[in-house]
Amino acid sequence: MNHYFYPAIFHSCEEGGYWISFPDFPECMSQGETLAEAYEMAADALGLCIDEKIRTADALPPASSPTDYTVEAGDFSCLVEFDLMEYRRKHAVKSVKKTLTIPEWLNEAAIAKNLNFSQVLQEALIQRLGD
């Protein structure tokens, strides 16, 4: 699963802007000056929590339904979407060396066309993964 949806509560700040909390991730909070920035920051903060739990093999909590939590006057709730593959594309830049075998004729043809083997493999894997 690459897309996750969790509810976030947007709290209005007296000085302007918003701070965001997540009923299912008590350790996860964020803030933003505008609603658009707050949502973007919320998605990023949620992503950090989800990615960390996946990397450490911790179970992800089930997403709460709107009836599982209360929203105070002046605050509101909405679902925040997190795309794990997009997040890792942006943030996981560590390269991993792979050894592979291809037919000699294919190797020679690719070299003659001055193809970058790593780039071609990455593009093919991304296409095969459906992104």
Q: Rounded distance, CA 111 to CA 49, Å?
A: 43
Please, what is the Cα angle at 49 between 45 and 50, to 5 degrees? 115
**3-91 has which fold?**
Double Stranded RNA Binding Domain (3.30.160)
pLDDT value of position 86: 85
pLDDT in tens, 28-70: 999 999 999 999 999 999 999 999 999 899 999 999 998 899 8
What average pLDDT does this structure show over 81-88? 87
What average pLDDT does this structure show over 93-117? 89
Are the C-beta atoms of 71 and 9 separated by less than 8 Å?
yes
The residues spanned by each domain of the chain are: 3-91, 95-131
pLDDT value of position 122: 84
